Amino acid sequence: MKIFHGNRFLVPIILGLIVFTCTTPSDRSEQKTFPASYLEEMTIAELQEGYRSGKYTVRQVVADYIARIEAIDKSGPHLNSVIMVNPDALAIADSLDKMLASGHSVPPLFGVPVLLKDNIDTHDKMPNTGGSRALRNSYPGKDSQVAAKLREAGAVILGKANLSEWANFRASRSSSGWSGLTGQTKNPYVLDRNPCGSSSGSGVAVAANLCMTAIGTETNGSIVCPSNNNGIVGIKPTVGLISRSGIIPISFTQDTPGPMARTVEDAARMLGPLTGIDPEDPRTFESQGKALKDYTPFLKKEGLKGKRIGLVTDLMGFFSRVDTLVMREVKRLKEQGAEIIEVKTPSRGYDEASIQVMLYEFRDGLNRYLSKLDSSVPYRSLSDIIEFNRRDSIELRYFDQRIFEQANEKGGLDSREYRESLERMLRATREEGIDKLMKEYNLDALMAPTGAPAWKTDLILGDNYLGGTSSLAAISGYPSITVPAGFIDELPVGISFFGKAWSEPVLIEIAYAYEQATKHRKAPKYLPAD
């Protein structure tokens, strides 16, 4: 049965429950040394304390991150996670240093260097490409709401991160992390392994300490899967908590941006400043009275005590070694005071309905986005992009554009097929899905393995993806957080906690307490092909 995950059509492989030992990374190679090692694994709190004490300047930190991008991303292991460094980054840093020297109070993300996935508009010297050669000269006329919020909060937009082209919604088979504009992003743990997508560059850059944090976007798996494969934390918020205006769309129903970081604390620090009502995104009106400007009060080391968490067992079974690891972590959750209840999803069959909804919404949303671009961009519709790809020498070199073609055959959002598919998928994942489970078992959250370890990148056959569990939260539009849960050989894997709409506070409590009790995050070693 085909499912949709990580902005891809995929065929899951169900393996038998053969028990293997879950191991931690071996010392196959010594940790490589790169510039500005003081930045490695640094947190936002440590960075900002350094600013206050005069130990660092924002210019120094930004310059050193740029040096690391050059040494690690463009040379050395050549991760290819950054499409472009912001030409204004050092000037922004200088203005922030002047703010601090003047004695003015500083905003919450003061001096935090952030990479944005390259489907998020910034009104500066950087184009917003979606990874496509068609948009390589597309310079937005204004900031996305996300970019505007980051600037307001004092962050430094360090540059744009590579991604699976068009957020992995183009080809019937593709390699996650590949874009026609820049090519393939590598996994920093083992270089021939895949970073997952579509927020591939965001995940890799955070893992490799090329930025403090990054912003990804998810339709189905595109924040949590690259976080899983790259050993970091990813928050996929409730749809509507953060505005999508100025982001190249796939699905109005499922799309959301979200923070990606090395720690739950840093991801939570990023989340609050991004929330807020945006008249250009009607879904944000649903967050009125539910969104918070600060989620750090929920960073509680005792946050697991008394929590009832449902382990969704029918979302397991795609790889026995992952199952073994998860059951080990269940024991640790119990030791921290959580009660774990095994549950199964009461309703399935929502994946095909979601595919239909995305095809309709992608055509409608992309046509709207393209129609508003500057006249210097000649492509005004999905049909135009399809024709560009057919003429281009690179875009169809490895992978087709079957999903584009399927979407372009769809009618408007008033069609019966669209309306029925939308109603069916939301009912199955909400009132007959997450909401029903949470109420029936009196749960605070649900949990499942985020995915399998990273597979080997293959530009001929595409992704060899074993399985993942993003769909229930993604299709419902409800929040999820993935946290590093350990390693299988040299490769990280994560556990996801998810729940009802607007339940980010309790999910942060659970994720933070679990992270602090386990400390599974380890920096990558850039190992060669295994």
Class of domain 3-518: alpha beta
Q: In Å, how far are 134, 163, 237, 422, 463 from 168, measured between CA atoms?
A: 16, 8, 20, 21, 11
Q: Does the active-site annotation cover 117?
A: yes
Which of these is catalytic: 81, 117, 186, 525? 117
326-335's contacts with Cβ under 8 Å and 24+ in sequence apart are 326/448, 326/449, 326/485, 326/495, 328/22, 328/486, 329/485, 329/486, 329/495, 329/514, 329/518, 332/514, 332/517, 332/518, 333/304, 333/309, 333/514, 335/517
365: left (phi over 0), alpha (psi -120 to 50) or beta: alpha
Q: Crossing angle for the helix pair 89-101 and 58-68, nearest 10 degrees?
A: 160
207: left (phi over 0), alpha (psi -120 to 50) or beta: alpha
CB atoms within 10 A of CB 92: 22
50 φ, ψ (degrees, to nearest 5): -65, -40
Mean pLDDT over 202-222 rounds to: 99
Percent of the chain at pLDDT exceeding 70: 94
Question: Whole-angstrom Cα distance, residue 465 to residue 488?
Answer: 16
Mean pLDDT over 257-272 rounds to: 99
Which is higher by pLDDT, 65 or 347?
Answer: 65
Note the pLDDT of residue 5. Answer: 38
Which of these is catalytic: 138, 179, 198, 199? 198
**Token pair recorded at residue 406:** 């399927």
Reply yes or no on whether the pLDDT at 6 is more than 50.
Answer: no
Q: Which amino acid is at 376?
A: S
Mean pLDDT over 365-373 rounds to: 98
Mean pLDDT over 277-291 rounds to: 98
Reply yes or no on whether the pLDDT at 25 is more than 70.
Answer: no
CB atoms within 10 A of CB 18: 10
Of 85-89, 102-106, 107-111, the poorest mean pLDDT is in 102-106
pLDDT digits (tens, 9 = 90+) for 381-421: 999 999 999 999 999 999 999 999 999 999 999 999 999 99
Note the pLDDT of residue 348. Answer: 80
For the purposes of burial, counting CB atoms within 10 Å of the CB of 117, is it exposed (0-12), middle (13-18) or buried (19 or more)?
Answer: buried
CA 216 to chain centre: 4
Reply yes or no on whether the pLDDT at 186 is more than 50.
Answer: yes
Report DSSP state, residue 70: I
pLDDT digits (tens, 9 = 90+) for 124-169: 999 999 999 999 999 999 999 999 999 999 999 999 999 999 999 9
Q: In Å, how far are 333, 432, 444, 446 from 437, measured between CA atoms?
A: 20, 8, 10, 9
Q: Which amino acid is at 281?
A: D
Reply yes or no on whether the pLDDT at 350 is more than 60.
Answer: yes
Alpha-helix residue ranges (DSSP H) falling in 279-347? 320-335
Kindly list the domain boundaries of the chain, sorted by start residue: 3-518
Note the pLDDT of residue 378. Answer: 96
Reply yes or no on whether the pLDDT at 362 is more than 90.
Answer: yes
Which of these is catalytic: 222, 354, 470, 476? 222
Question: Whole-angstrom Cα distance, residue 304 to residue 372?
Answer: 47
3-state secondary structure 273-290: HHECCCCCCHHHHHHCCC
